[in-house]
């Protein structure tokens, strides 16, 4: 009886669970925020404070204002999600949300 089956089940048969989705999205939002902070830190190191006196700097921000607004909204959404999910995680570690039995099976 030598069947060609995988040793472990394939990931396509698993349904996404709420308890595994939250930490994954928390890490993704944290990596996105760290990338944004690093990008602006390197941008400030490259440009310096003298850039605020140039007219071309303000023209660039004027013509790319829609792109900047969209990126600020996405960053604010990622920041708020990361903050509230981190607080939820800390609260659940301290014993909160005991009444929620998400992802746990009752043994009868």
Instruction: Label residue 51 exposed, middle or buried (CB < 10 Å: 0-12, 13-18, 19+).
Output: middle
CA atoms lying within 13 Å on the CB side of residue 77: 8
Token output for 75: 């960053």
The verdict on whether residue 26 carries a ligand-binding annotation is no
Token output for 63: 């013509």
Summarize the annotated binding site as residue ranges: 82
User: Which residues are known binding-site members for heme?
Assistant: 82
């Amino acid at each position: 009886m030598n069947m060609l089956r995988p040793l472990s089940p394939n990931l396509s048969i698993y349904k996404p669970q709420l308890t595994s989705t939250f930490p994954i999205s928390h890490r993704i939002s944290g990596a996105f925020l760290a990338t944004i902070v690093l990008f602006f830190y390197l941008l400030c190191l490259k440009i310096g404070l003298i850039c605020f006196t140039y007219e071309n700097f303000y023209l660039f921000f004027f013509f790319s204002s829609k792109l900047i607004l969209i990126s600020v909204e996405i960053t604010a959404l990622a920041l708020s999600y990361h903050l509230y999910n981190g607080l939820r995680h800390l609260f659940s570690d301290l014993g909160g949300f005991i009444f929620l039995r998400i992802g746990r099976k009752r043994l009868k």
